[in-house]
Amino acid sequence: MTKRVLVAMDSYRLAECAVPLACYICGSDNNYNTELCRHCAAPLALSHQARTQGVRPQMVAVLGTAAAGKTVYLGMLLDMLTRQNSRVQVLARGAFSITLQQRTMMALSNCRFPEKTPNEPDRWNWVHCQAKINSKKNPMELIMPDMAGEAILEEIDHPNAYPAIHSFLEKCSGVILLADTDRIERGGAEQNYFLMKLITYLSEQDSRKTRGKTTRPVAIVFSKADRCEPCFDNPELYAREKTPNLWQQVQQRFTNYGFFASGVAGSVGFREELGEGTSAVPLRIEPRGIVEPFEWLVRKV
């Protein structure tokens, strides 16, 4: 005797996987269930979230040299904005968006700075969040990655070396550019040259121009400004006197720009570690000027 058995058909799942999923950053097609883009290594969770929410997120780039403080600034910014804030509030989208904030605050609470961001794009932390500003009726969806400084410099010197950076900077709506005040005060020219190259790169890459100047807003933030108090008093005057080449480049190439000063570690010490040399230690945490550049940029976007 033969028994009849009903078996559910799961072929619809195969049909779903056969439809390619475009990467939100570079636009390359990927398999539906893949975690990272095969071309630029950006997380495809960004594409899934964009499809389900029906609102296309805007991109904000946080750029700077290696050890300029990008990870600390971005992590502290998110930690402050995810709490109750009277002017700007941020709500993280997806669990992966909280990783950067978590690692930064855990490191600072243990009196150390976060580990250096790796050069490999598949190990970067990406943040997708919803930002709500009092003066705007609708909240904004934003994507902000923590990209390695060496990778940014490599992309500037050799365009398309890092497809994720190239595509992101081409599409981003605004830029927060960090300048290391500590290295500027020590008289090094590295910051000046890097920032001038980056300003030139951003200007030439952006097609949105009015009278030869790009309209994409740029916030130039002097990080670690707690080591140079006059920088807080007048950041634009500080830029004019300490980084005149950068100040002139910004004047000539951009219409929307602002100069800011920020600091996270109110006091820094140094310790010698066997086999690793001298390392900086945050002695106390006193965030200053963290929210202002982000708030200015979001209002301009």
Confidence at residue 2, expressed as pLDDT on a 0 to 100 scale: 65
Q: What is the CB neighbour count within 10 angstroms for residue 110?
A: 8
pLDDT range class, residue 73, cuts 50, 70, 90: very high
Checking if the pLDDT of 237 tops 90, the result is yes
pLDDT range class, residue 12, cuts 50, 70, 90: low
Torsions phi, psi for 266 (to 5 deg): -65, -25
The residue-averaged pLDDT of 93-106 equals 90
Distance between CA atoms of 44 and 38, rounded to whole angstroms?
10
pLDDT in tens, 126-166: 999 998 887 777 889 999 999 999 999 999 999 989 999 99
Confidence at residue 177, expressed as pLDDT on a 0 to 100 scale: 95
% of the chain beyond a pLDDT of 90: 52
- Mean pLDDT, all residues of the chain: 87
Please tell me which residue, 94 or 59, carries the higher pLDDT value: 59
Torsions phi, psi for 218 (to 5 deg): -130, 125
Distance between CA atoms of 166 and 146, rounded to whole angstroms?
14
Checking if the pLDDT of 9 tops 70, the result is no
pLDDT in tens, 33-58: 889 999 999 999 988 888 887 778 99
Please tell me which residue, 1 or 119, carries the higher pLDDT value: 119
Confidence at residue 16, expressed as pLDDT on a 0 to 100 scale: 60
pLDDT range class, residue 8, cuts 50, 70, 90: low
Q: Are 293 and 221 in contact (CB under 8 A)?
A: yes
Please tell me which residue, 12 or 34, carries the higher pLDDT value: 34
- Residues 185-224 as b/e (b if ≥16 CB within 10 A, e otherwise) read eeeeeebbebbbebbebbbeebeeeeeebbebbbbbbbbb
Please tell me which residue, 297 or 134, carries the higher pLDDT value: 297
Confidence at residue 272, expressed as pLDDT on a 0 to 100 scale: 80
Confidence at residue 15, expressed as pLDDT on a 0 to 100 scale: 61
Q: Are 299 and 133 in contact (CB under 8 A)?
A: yes
pLDDT in tens, 190-231: 888 888 999 999 988 877 777 788 899 999 999 999 888 889
> Which residues share a beta bridge with 284?
267
Helix (H) or strand (E) holding 273: strand 263-273
Distance between alpha carbon 109 and the CA centroid of its chain, in Å?
A: 22
pLDDT in tens, 123-137: 999 999 998 887 777
